[in-house]
Amino acid sequence: MRITSVLCVLLGLTVLGCQKKPAEQSGSKTATGAPTLEELKNTEYTGFEEVSRTVHLSGGAWEGAPYDSRSEVRPHVIYVKDMRLEGDLDGNGSPEAVAFLAFASGGSGDLLHIVVLDRRQGAVMQRANAIVGDRVQIRGARIEGANIVLDLVEAAPGDPACCPAELVTRRWQLEGDSLVERPSGIPHTRLSPEATDGVDWKLKEWNLGEPAPEDPTVTLIYTAGRWSGNSGCNRYAASVSSGENPGDVIVGPSFGTRMACEPTAAAMERRFLTQLGATKRIGFYAGRLALTYAMDDSLGTMLFEPAPAAPDTTARP
């Protein structure tokens, strides 16, 4: 498999492997507040291309019937990881929820949708559905005032469809029962190691579907052309620079402290530094940093999530 194609299938591989047992719909007449994540993964949606019927997610997934009796190709809708936003988007004093759904018609692409839902007489109801784009990568998502704001990696003119490399920020406003996109005013840039700056990243998966231990913690921080952090026992640093294409990276040899390590931590450290040194490309998935590495004629992708902010221990009068 080509390195540049790994991130293109990241969405489907990760989410399809994380389906849960369907939960009972909790939106009752006595329920209040914005729909919960569990409700969003087990409710009805409309507005997907090539699907005229209502789609009912069960455990975060829906699979339609084959388009043709002679083919097994069928549409899918998958909830994107555990992404959910909440805020008062229409200014009526009651919060709405924003769901993130990926629609696949059976081809190689995934259309990302954002869907606004609220609660009417206790029941979860869809308000609006907007297409974000094909095979876009989510760097971050938030609500600012009445705006849904997404930081994305998407394809610019000339980018291969498989491998977007344009960093953009886009925003939508809820107007009635429609989502209307408005200019964000933020200039576009290209995908490079600098896109990992400003966040302390914590290793969550060695490869897609292979969780990394919570303890010891492996971290990654970008500073002026270097990645550094805790490799499981010692502190490390390695140079990182842009490769031939946007999103490609060149990682230099790592160096660091030489503390004696407990065997489990030492093995974890060796694996991380080996995979980091073999990293060839960066990307993002559902707010997580994805580092794709090539080793022994095979490819893998480490996933990192933003580390929780340290508690404020400042003494106050």
pLDDT digits (tens, 9 = 90+) for 260-298: 999 999 999 999 999 999 999 999 999 999 999 999 888
**Residue of 103 and 8 predicted with greater confidence:** 103
pLDDT score of 160:
82
- Tokens (6 digits) for 121: 């007489």
φ, ψ of residue 249 in degrees (nearest 5): -135, 155
What's at 98, amino acid-wise? Answer: V
- Cis previous bond, 216, omega within 30: yes
pLDDT score of 72:
81
* CB within 8 Å of 95: residues ≥ 6 apart: 33, 34, 86, 87, 88, 118
Mean pLDDT of the chain: 88
pLDDT score of 8:
42
Q: Which residues of 38-77 are buried (b: 16+ CB within 10 A; e: fewer)?
A: bbbbbbebebbeebeeebebbebbbebeeeeeeeeeebbb
pLDDT score of 24:
42
pLDDT score of 18:
39
Burial environment of residue 107 by CB neighbours within 10 A (0 to 12, 13 to 18, 19 or more): exposed
Residue 314: is its pLDDT beyond 90? Answer: no
- Please report which confidence band the pLDDT of residue 316 belongs to, taking 50, 70 and 90 as the band edges: very low
Residue 304: is its pLDDT beyond 70? Answer: yes
- Tokens (6 digits) for 46: 């409309």
Residue 312: is its pLDDT beyond 60? Answer: no
Least confident interval from 75-84, 110-119, 212-221, 300-309: 300-309
Least confident interval from 61-75, 148-162, 184-198, 203-217: 61-75
Where do we find the tokens 């991130």? 7
- Tokens (6 digits) for 162: 């498989």
pLDDT tens digits for range 22-41: 444 444 445 789 999 999 99
CB 115 within 8 A of CB 45: yes
Go through the domains of the chain in sequence order and give each one's CATH number.
Answer: 3-67+76-190 (no CATH), 193-306 (2.40.128.270)
Residue 101: is its pLDDT beyond 60? Answer: yes
Arithmetic mean of pLDDT, 190-204: 96
Whether pTM exceeds 0.85: no
pLDDT tens digits for range 121-176: 889 999 999 999 999 999 999 999 999 999 999 999 988 877 899 999 999 999 99
